Amino acid sequence: MKIFYSEEHRKHHPPFEVFDGGKRVPYYENPDRMDRILSALEKTDWAELSEPTDFGLDPILTVHDRDYINFLASCWTEWLAADPETAATPEQHAFLPATFALRRKARPTTSLLGKGGYYLMDLSACIVEHTYKAALASANCALTAASSSFILHNSSFALCRPPGHHAGKDYAAGYCFINNAAVAANWLSAKGKVAILDIDYHAGNGTQDIFYERDDVLTISIHGDPDYEYPHYIGFADETGAVKGLGFHKNFPLLKDTGDEGYLSALDEALEMIQKFAPNYLVLSAGMDTFDGDPLGKFHVTREGFAEIGKRIAGLTLPTAIIMEGGYANDALGVNIVTLLENFK
């Protein structure tokens, strides 16, 4: 299996994030995640790692707002110029605003903090010096995987970091800055119908946002019910698309403590929808934070569950671009993703 990976991700390593209640904690979405996956892949006889191709900004700007991308590109430099303390000790800081926009009436302002509060949804979307470069490389991994699956008509894996599925058209959220899966799916949509299946524990709010009014890309997300779980304000069962996209989006919000049986039941329903849609390509947002014991999840999917999930999705026999999303039980992360992937090789 062709696997696309860039060392650029290491340059994005915020020193902290802020949890509920204002608690500072070490950044969960850290480079160790990739090291664990790489170590597991190196033990296989089928993983073929390659650097991604640079696709430029055009495929990204067909999905994301240009002003938002400009903000990501210039944010850190502007912050250093405006704040003497940060400029003196940049490695101890991350750009995070203290005021967030209520989008119903909000618009971006000219001040950096105003723009930050408009373009960042939460306190885990921390920006440091090379966040933008890492996000670009991550998007290029996804695009290269999509291109490989299109050309070779097979499955490929984009080992993306930072992840992407929480990033909307013009906002970052939940460790995500550029929506890698959406960029890949949009690129593929010029060549045929595409389905996106998101199996991350958290709702793919950004992906939903991007494709909500489109009928050429079917989007499905299986996740913890936002009534109790992040991102809280999107991912409910009654959100099914709008305008041309009505009926082309489906959320499966699941209860706390969902295990293999409940998860596979929802997956079977999702796969039936994909078969009826009859896409030419599949983009799989592969989050491993459904795993039993993940620090940021409340499901109990087992390693055997991941094997069955992979088997059933691979049974669609579609060219599939598999895009790495979340998963924070680092000790198990590598083996879990390999367990999923080996069904597609």
Interval 158-178: pLDDT, tens:
999 999 999 999 999 999 999
* 166 in catalytic set: yes
- Give the pLDDT confidence score for residue 101 in this predicted structure: 85
- Give the pLDDT confidence score for residue 108 in this predicted structure: 81
- Give the pLDDT confidence score for residue 104 in this predicted structure: 64
| pLDDT higher than threshold 80 for residue 203 | yes
- Give the pLDDT confidence score for residue 326 in this predicted structure: 98
Residues 6+ apart with CB under 8 A from 333: 33, 36, 37, 288, 327
Per-residue pLDDT band at 266 (split at 50, 70, 90): very high
From 166, 202, 249, 300, the catalytic residue: 166
Q: What are the extents of the domains in the chain?
A: 2-65+131-341
Average pLDDT value over all residues in the chain: 96
| pLDDT higher than threshold 90 for residue 95 | yes
Report pTM: 0.97
Interval 128-145: pLDDT, tens:
999 999 999 999 999 999
Q: What percent of the chain has pLDDT over 70?
A: 99
Provide mean pLDDT across the span 239-247: 98
Across-strand partners of 92? none
Across-strand partners of 207? none
Per-residue pLDDT band at 85 (split at 50, 70, 90): confident
Per-residue pLDDT band at 68 (split at 50, 70, 90): very high
Torsion of CA 87, 113, 135, 20, to 10 degrees: 100
| pLDDT higher than threshold 80 for residue 146 | yes
Query: Angle, nearest 10°, between helix axes 66-82 and 131-152?
Result: 150
Superfamily of domain 2-65+131-341: Histone deacetylase domain (3.40.800.20)
Question: CA nearest 202: which of 330, 294, 127, 315?
Answer: 294
Interval 285-319: pLDDT, tens:
999 999 999 999 999 999 999 999 999 999 999 99
**Token pair of 104, please?**
């119903």
Provide mean pLDDT across the span 322-328: 98
| pLDDT higher than threshold 90 for residue 342 | yes
Of the listed ranges 13-27, 88-102, 121-135, 313-327, the one predicted with least confidence: 88-102
SS3 295: coil
Provide mean pLDDT across the span 203-222: 98
- Give the pLDDT confidence score for residue 84 in this predicted structure: 85
For the chain, what is the largest distance between any 2 Cα atoms, rounded to a whole number of angstroms?
58
| pLDDT higher than threshold 90 for residue 106 | no
DSSP strands (E only) in 159-216: 194-198
- Give the pLDDT confidence score for residue 254 in this predicted structure: 98
Give me the phi and psi of 272, to 5 degrees please.
Answer: -65, -40
| pLDDT higher than threshold 80 for residue 107 | no
